[in-house]
């Protein structure tokens, strides 16, 4: 069962509802990011597959595999977007378990809600609109929290980590899949060329985007802490232990932190 919603606000009479947890005005970065992702929501999954050459499916499966199998477990997919991680975690929560797919962006959540409904999993996965920096859930509510390509977009990284730590049960696990720093110089040069030259052109053409989201994305990756720096921030946020695994030469990394 999911926790009792605050101010339930179904967005349509059919399919699993998208609940709204009250949020607070965000920073300018947060507002700009939300506007950009709203503009590309319908093309998000297609562009993910094109721009990652399909690798994002493998990365997400590996991240979901880091979530422990739990009898009657409760998991939170934070910054869920179109709910890919939520769908992958669902069968790891046991037959009486539940996953909440939470995102601040309503347009992205609606796409995720459609995918959940098509899989017939509306009773196993709930879609909620929530702010990562001010989660409306009770302390120690979840066995696991996972994020996929979300955490670099929050306005206050340490506040989001503090909230994730708060809602995890003691011994709970935070799994963070995020773009990171390639470990080999030649790969870093190639990746920078692709990210700043090719990716914006392809992404903008496919999504017909005029907001600049596919120019923002590579810049946000470059500004995000690298593998060791992110590990240090997780420990600073109060996690007892943190480690990471590089995928695709460090293009992405999975950090796993234990409360």
Q: What is the spatial distance between Cα 96 and Cα 105, in angstroms, rounded to a whole number?
A: 28
pLDDT at residue 156 greater than cutoff 50: yes
**What integer best gives the mean pLDDT of the chain?**
85
Q: What is the spatial distance between Cα 144 and Cα 172, in angstroms, rounded to a whole number?
A: 5
pLDDT score of 11: 35
Taking residues 30-41, report their average pLDDT.
73
The topology (CATH level 3) of 18-28+55-181+225-258 is Rossmann fold (3.40.50)
Q: Is 105 helix (H, G, I), strand (E, B) or coil?
A: coil
Q: Pick from 129-138, 140-149, 213-222 the range whose average pLDDT is largest.
A: 140-149
pLDDT at residue 167 greater than cutoff 80: yes
Q: What backbone torsions phi and psi does residue 125 show, to the nearest 5 degrees?
A: -130, 125
Q: What is the pLDDT of residues 190-244, one digit of tens each?
A: 888 887 777 777 667 766 766 666 778 778 888 899 999 999 999 999 999 999 9
pLDDT score of 29: 64
Q: Is the dihedral of CA 193, 196, 199, 202 positive or negative?
A: negative
pLDDT score of 46: 80
Q: What is the pLDDT of residues 244-257, one digit of tens each?
A: 999 999 999 999 99
Please answer whether residues 116 and 86 qualify as being in contact, where contact means their C-beta atoms are separated by less than 8 angstroms: yes
Q: What is the pLDDT of residues 100-132, one digit of tens each?
A: 999 999 999 999 999 999 999 999 999 999 999
Where do the structural domains in the chain lie, given as residue ranges?
Answer: 18-28+55-181+225-258
Q: What is the spatial distance between Cα 214 and Cα 54, in angstroms, rounded to a whole number?
A: 17
Please answer whether residues 105 and 132 qualify as being in contact, where contact means their C-beta atoms are separated by less than 8 angstroms: no
Q: What is the pLDDT of residues 46-103, one digit of tens each?
A: 877 777 788 999 999 999 999 999 999 999 999 999 999 999 999 999 999 999 999 9
Tokens for 33? 């990011």
Q: What is the C-alpha R_g of the chain? A: 17
Listing DSSP states for 163-191 in one string gives HHHHHEEEEEEEEEEEE---SSHHHHHHH
Q: 121 vs 41, 114, 168, 185, 237, CA distance in Å?
A: 21, 10, 23, 44, 34
Tokens for 147? 């994020």
Parallel/antiparallel/unpaired status of strands 74-78 and 98-103: parallel
- Residue 24's pLDDT band, with cuts at 50, 70 and 90, is very low
Please answer whether residues 90 and 125 qualify as being in contact, where contact means their C-beta atoms are separated by less than 8 angstroms: yes
Q: What is the spatial distance between Cα 93 and Cα 72, in angstroms, rounded to a whole number?
A: 6
pLDDT score of 75: 98
Question: Tell me, what DSSP letter sits at residue 145?
Answer: E
């Amino acid at each position: 069962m999911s926790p009792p919603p605050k101010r339930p606000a179904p967005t349509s009479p059919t399919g699993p509802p998208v609940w709204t947890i009250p949020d607070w005005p965000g920073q300018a970065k947060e507002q700009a990011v939300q506007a950009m992702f709203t503009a590309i929501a319908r093309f998000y999954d297609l562009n993910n597959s094109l721009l990652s050459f399909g690798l994002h499916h493998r990365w997400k499966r590996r991240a979901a595999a880091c979530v422990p199998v739990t009898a009657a477990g409760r998991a939170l997919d934070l910054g869920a977007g179109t709910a890919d991680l939520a769908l992958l975690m669902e069968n790891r929560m046991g037959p009486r378990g539940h996953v909440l797919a939470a995102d601040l962006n309503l347009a992205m959540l609606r796409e995720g809600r459609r995918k959940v409904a098509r899989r017939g999993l509306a009773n196993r996965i709930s879609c909620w609109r929530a702010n990562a920096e001010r989660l409306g859930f009770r302390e120690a509510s979840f066995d696991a929290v996972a994020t996929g390509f979300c955490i670099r977009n929050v306005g206050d990284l340490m506040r989001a980590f503090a909230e994730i730590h708060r809602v995890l049960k003691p011994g709970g696990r935070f799994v963070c899949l995020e773009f990171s720093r390639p470990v080999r110089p030649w790969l870093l040069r190639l990746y920078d060329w692709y990210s700043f030259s090719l990716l914006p052109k392809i992404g903008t053409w496919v999504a017909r985007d005029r907001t600049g989201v596919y120019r923002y994305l590579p810049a946000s990756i470059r500004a995000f802490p690298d593998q060791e720096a992110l590990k240090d921030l997780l420990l600073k946020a109060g996690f007892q232990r943190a480690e990471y695994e590089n995928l695709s030469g460090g293009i992405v990394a999975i950090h796993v932190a234990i409360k």
